[in-house]
Chain A
Amino acid sequence: MPAIEILGLEKTYKVGFWRQRPKRALEPLNLTVEEGEIFGFLGPNGAGKTTTLKLLMGLVFPTGGTARILGREWTDAEVKAQIGFLPEQPYFYDYLTAQELLDYYGQLSGVAAQDRKRRIPEVLARVGLTDVKGVQLRKFSKGMLQRAGIAQAILHNPKLVFLDEPMSGLDPLGRREVRDLMEQLKQEGKTVFFSTHILSDAEALCDRVAIIHKGALRGVGAVEDLTSTVQGKVEVVWQGTQIPASMKALGAECHVTGETVRAVITENQQDAAIDGLRREHIRLTAITPLRTSLEAYFVEKLQHSQTAVGTAMGNGR
């Protein structure tokens, strides 16, 4: 059973005061997220990521389409007891302490008092908020609020966690901790759906990703598949500062960084390059096939969608 099935969900807002005109925020979206995977929802700012999450959370109402979460209608209130949600740049009741906030949210999620007493310190420790007893949220830094937000999203042990830009506001260490936490959630069998525009996070964490731009889905697939487009080239790396004549003869693109040289050659030049380096007694460090990065794939999809929009506008004229 898929954890999330989005079936043609779309949203059009009406903008303007007197003469309202439609503004498409999300084109009909079809997407399936399997149970137990970390799914990245990628797109630049204003692409429609948050709108999609708000639709799934029931915060805005769709113009059309439907969705199923954990096998039930997404509007079913009982489904919500099994999902956790971290909004983008979360802001909480600042007169509460982190413990009180989690207690309140635990009550609303139907967590029994005894379980709340046990879970709250556990979850706070898990997100690295251990020394905040008695401190009101108004005194929390942005990073601490983000951690409190993640804590409230996982407090009730949900099967499915939605995180909207979870790394936002965190320092490098905090980002690393959140990445570790997401991997732990996956190991516990939970499904994680997170939106981000930071591609390195997605590449490091996700089983599959979807790319959204200008409200429309531009691509979806496993990270390995999307980045495995071998360009018929390999990267050869060795220690040194000089570019040997054999590599120059092959026409390799060479880059020297400190004590390391990187050269890009075609696959069929690989043996000749190794032989040439051996002859010159150069110690080879690595030979790796050159893959498309997620960033390259992302940029290509975005450029393609820009071109498509431009062409459509041109045709419309």
Chain B
Amino acid sequence: MSARIVHIASNTFREAVRDRVLYNLIAFALLLSGAAIFVGQISIGIERLVVVNLGLTAVSLFGIVIAIFIGIGLVSKEIEKRTLYTVLSRPVRRWEFIVGKFFGLAGTLVVNTFFMAIGVFGALLYVTHKFHKPDALILVALYFIILEFLIICSLALLFSSFSTPLLSAVFAFSLFVIGSFADDLRGFAGLTHGFTRWFATGAAYLVPNFSALNVISAVAHQQPLGGQLILQNTLYALFYSATVLSAAVLIFERRNLK
């Protein structure tokens, strides 16, 4: 990887940290501690189910919100504030800037997820008093959540490369919601005929398939997850992110910075 990408990524990470983005961890910690104590008092036998469900859903939602709200400003804010001028007047290629920004945001989210994962396991330990073998599946769910973040980061960056922050947020959040129902959309496409079928199938495969990456319920119910699913989801997320990122680069390479 080019050294310049690493420098841009680490500066993006530093920006997120200095802008107190990781303060969300405090809210997350409070939410989980409160939930763990509350659940421990009211539920009998399903403490694990509730804590895993609540914990992983919170990890996912907190991360998605951060990915969208930082991602949408990554390029447009730099153009608006003209900080990009002094970066691109150096030997930095435009694609390096986009890729560096992507890795910086992805890095921020991985660190954020790491601390939140500690919180989830802490809450789980509090309610179950010891870890069991199926708890290792939580790590798989967390890994899928990180894959989800990679896709969202790339989408937010794509929209940020040509649109305003507000519109980018609307686009990215809409795609997240639609993508969460991608399986239903594919099911609906199978029920239609003619042009509608073509259109619905195309749309179903074009939107990110977040429902395949959401295994929170399965993990909470201690259902096994196959190695093939992990491989498939990894390849899918990497391919989808790389494609979206390439589109962001293509747009940004042609953009006049007025």
User: Which residues of A are interface residues toward B (Cβ below 8 A)?
Assistant: 13, 54, 57-61, 77-78, 80-81, 83, 85, 87, 89-93, 95-96, 104-105, 107-110, 149, 152, 162
Contact = CB atoms under 8 A, between A and B. Distances in A.
B18 A57 contact: no
A91 B82 contact: yes
A95 B7 contact: no
B86 A90 contact: yes
B11 A87 contact: no
B254 A61 contact: yes
A54 B7 contact: no
Given A54-B257, A77-B93, A109-B90, A87 B85 contact: yes
Contacts of B15: 93, 95
A104 B257 contact: no
A57 B3 contact: no
Contact of B86 (A54, A81, A89, A92): A92
A77 B18 CA distance: 31
B88 interface: yes
B92 interface: yes
B89 A83 contact: yes
Contact of B257 (A60, A81, A90): A60
Contacts of A81: 90-91
A58 B89 contact: yes
Given A91-B81, A107-B3, A108-B7, A60 B256 contact: yes
Given A95-B19, A104-B11, A59 B88 contact: yes
Given A90-B82, A107-B3, A109-B90, 16 more contacts: A59-B85, A59-B88, A59-B256, A80-B90, A80-B91, A81-B91, A85-B85, A93-B15, A96-B14, A107-B4, A107-B7, A108-B4, A108-B7, A108-B92, A152-B86, A162-B89
B75 to A, nearest CB: 13
Contacts of B166: none
Contacts of A91: 81-83
Interface in B109-145: none
Nearest to B84: A59
Interface of B: 3-4, 7-8, 11, 14-15, 18-19, 81-93, 254, 256-258
21 contacts: A13-B256, A58-B88, A59-B85, A59-B88, A59-B257, A80-B90, A85-B85, A85-B86, A87-B82, A87-B85, A87-B89, A91-B83, A93-B83, A95-B18, A104-B11, A107-B3, A108-B4, A108-B87, A108-B91, A110-B91, A152-B86
Contacts of B86: 85, 87, 90, 92, 105, 149, 152
A107 B14 CA distance: 15
Closest A-B pairs by Cβ, 7 of them:
A95-B18, A85-B89, A60-B256, A107-B7, A57-B89, A59-B257, A87-B85
A137 to B, nearest CB: 10
B11 A93 contact: yes
Contacts of B84: 59
B11 A78 contact: no
A26 to B, nearest CB: 13
A211 B84 CA distance: 28
Contacts of A57: 85, 88-89
B154 to A, nearest CB: 23
Nearest to A81: B91
A304 B8 CA distance: 48
